[in-house]
Amino acid sequence: MKTVSLDGAVVPFAEGQTVMECALAANISIPHLCFLPGFLPHGSCRLCTVKIDGRLASACTQPAMAGQHVEIDTEELRQVRLSLLRMLFVEGNHYCPACEKSGSCRLQKAAYDEGMLDLHYRPWYPKRKMDASHPDVLIDRDRCIFCELCVKASRDVDGKNIFGISGRGIDTHLVVNSKSGLLADTDISAQDRAVEVCPVGAILVKGRGFEIPIGKRLYD
């Protein structure tokens, strides 16, 4: 049987599995944000960066290969993860206490897990357009981390193809597939997988106000 070494643990893998998949199967945690089982790996957040035989790589996109030596929980990689999370926080506007997703947000959880206590970098305070045009669903683009999960879910699961990513560099932003560019002119519904799949508070269902009490939320 072919195996890889994950922080010293010898783990078997099947042909075609990625490093992330074989770690998940073995119950070894590699922090991640844009990766979600059931969707094609994206490799954009880089939070799952590991060191494979001395080189940094994203575990979600790297095919497992026999004899690989994978480092996950090292001081160097903790620093990389911490910096990446800080970068995601400063490029957006993440005022957690005022965000409906607080407590169920994967970015917030990852930051807690990695012990992030400050922003470190100067915040950018972006002013991307908000879309409150739809009666049931809201987009706050300043919280988007460009994981493209909504893009894939809407296209491949909901069969609606409502979202896309546009722009370049720091001007990268979420766009909506309608002539007006507004959510109101799409057939999105609050039950869509695309809405549920958003790891942060960028796509939210309207009409809810902190329904779940603190202590009972997903990651409390």
Partner 1 sequence: MGSNPLQLLIAIQKAFNHVPDDAICRVASALGLPISRILGDVEFYSFLSREPLGTYSVLMSDSITDWMLGSRELFLRLCGNLGVSPGVTRCDGLATVGKTSCTGMCDQGPALLVNGIAVANLTDERIDAISRLMEKQIPPVAWPDEYFRVESNIRRRGWLFQDWQGPILEGEVLLQEMTDAGLRGRGGAGFPTAKKWASCRDAPGSERYVVCNADEGEPGTFKDRVLLQHCAGRLFEGMALCARTVGAKRGFLYVRGEYRYLEAHLEAQLAARRDADFEIELHWGAGAYICGEESALLESIEGKRGIPRVRPPFPVTFGLHGMPTVVDNVETFCAAAAIAAGGGSEFRSLGTAGSCGTKLLSVSGDCARPGIYEYSFGVSVSQILEDCGAGNVLAVQVGGAAGSCLDASEFGRKICFEDLPTSGSVMVFDRTRDMREAALNFSRFFAHESCGFCTPCRVGTGILAQAMERISEGRGTEEDITEIGDLGGILKASHCGLGQSANRAVRDMLRKFPEHFEGGVN
| Extended strands (E) in 141-180 | 163-166, 173-176
Residue 171 within binding range of partner 1, rule CB under 8 A: yes
Provide CB contacts within 8 A for 95, sequence distance 6+: none
Residue 133 within binding range of partner 1, rule CB under 8 A: no
Instruction: Give whichever of 72 and 174 is closer to ligand SF4, judged by the CB atom.
Output: 174
Going by C-alpha positions, the residue among 105, 192, 212 that lies closest to residue 150 is 192
45: helix, strand or coil: coil
Residue 87 within binding range of partner 1, rule CB under 8 A: yes
Provide CB contacts within 8 A for 28, sequence distance 6+: 6, 7, 9, 11, 72
Instruction: Give whichever of 111 and 147 is closer to ligand SF4, judged by the CB atom.
Output: 147
User: How far is residue 118's CA from residue 75's CA, in Å, rounded to a whole number?
Assistant: 18
Residue 126 site contact among partner 1, ligand SF4, none (CB < 5 to 8 Å, cut-off depends on kind): none
Residues 1-40 binding partner 1 (CB under 8 A) are: none
Binding site for partner 1 (CB under 8 A): 41, 43-47, 49, 56, 58, 61, 63, 76, 79-80, 83-84, 87-88, 90-91, 121-122, 124, 145-146, 161, 163-172, 175-179, 181
